[in-house]
Amino acid sequence: MPVFKTPFNGYSVKFSPFYENRLAVATAQNFGILGNGRLHVLVLSPDPSLPIAELASYDTADGVYDVAWSESHDSIVIAAVADGSVKLYDLALPPTSNPIRSFQEHTREVHSADYNPVRRDSFLSSSWDDTIKLWTLDRPTSVRTFKEHAYCVYSAVWNPRHADVFASASGDCTVRIWDVREPGSTMILPAHDYEVLACDWNKYDECVIATASVDKSLKVWDVRNYRVPVSVLNGHGYAVRKVKFSPHVRNLLVSCSYDMTVCVWDFMVEDALVSRYDHHTEFAVGVDMSVLVEGLMASTGWDELVYVWPHGTDPRAP
């Protein structure tokens, strides 16, 4: 399957919800510590033997840590940037017209961005300034700031069924559940004993959420009874950086780790590890599963490579 080489270190990869052959990649120079960033929009060829093409790329003065596609406009992508900004790019406009917006409110690095898949009119950003912010495309300032976490918020993710509900994962070892109609968080999940780096909602059960931690484990929780996890998934050798539930299979989720691997799990069976992919040669920090093509996966990492492959095949196969 094809591979794309990025000039900088990969941080995040996301498939377009509109075009099955399109994906966006967030990258940062010098492992994100200091230097520029670049957002790539890539196009897959119908022929897997042909290389991945670049549709557009946008340079930033600081690293890009995450990217999210708009759920309402097929040409708009959102970048979470290390300078504290959230930038919007429109692929339909010439490069000189981009970014079309730059929201500068966070006081530290923005680590995640997520677009509301239900209402499709708003998005979240989470930051190392310990806050989450809610935005709409048309307002020049954030709609609201959510400040309860005691440390960096690495991820904030909308519930796939409930337009007002989202979850946030933090270095304070908790995951919080929020409803934008409520003044504060509605639930605090003491998910791990170490930093929680990511979380994601199950796409078939709106009460099930997965968490990924520095403790090398993933946990699956039911928010209706969160005293004990539904499942604990052990198998990574280092911190688990991202977790994503499959859009097509209820019990399937994918994770990537500082151990350089991408793992696929079935959280409902005892021998939960379905596949382990070891194609990266540096930290694997970005992973996604296509909504439009069942089984199609993508990953990126600090080895400056983006891989796209069907689940069950070798990502490095020509």
Residues 70-120 pLDDT 10s: 999 999 999 999 999 999 999 999 999 999 999 999 999 999 999 999 999
The answer to whether position 8 is within a domain reads yes
Number of domains in the chain: 1
Residue 228, domain CATH: 2.130.10.10
* Cross-strand bridge partners of residue 219: 211, 232
One-character DSSP codes across 134-149? EEESS-SS-SEEE---
What is the pLDDT at residue 85? Answer: 98
313 inside domain? no
177 confidence band (pLDDT: 50, 70, 90): very high
Does 1 have pLDDT greater than 80? no
Is 316 part of a structural domain of the chain? no
Structural domain includes residue 183: yes
* Pairing verdict, β 165-170 and 153-158: antiparallel
Q: Is 317 part of a structural domain of the chain? A: no
Residue among 4, 51, 13, 10 nearest 32 (CA): 10
Write out pLDDT tens, residues 26-84.
Answer: 999 998 888 999 999 999 999 988 999 999 999 999 999 999 999 999 999 999 999 99
Q: What residue numbers bound the domain in which 50 lies?
A: 1-308
Q: Is residue 128 part of a domain?
A: yes
Look up residue 276 and give its DSSP letter.
Answer: E
- 225 DSSP assignment: S
184-200: per-residue pLDDT in tens?
999 999 999 999 999 99
* 193 in a structural domain: yes
pLDDT tens by residue, 256-289:
999 999 999 999 999 999 999 999 999 999 999 9
pLDDT reported for residue 31: 86
Residue 147 is predicted with a pLDDT of: 98
At 2, the pLDDT band (50, 70, 90 cuts) reads confident
Q: Is residue 126 part of a domain?
A: yes
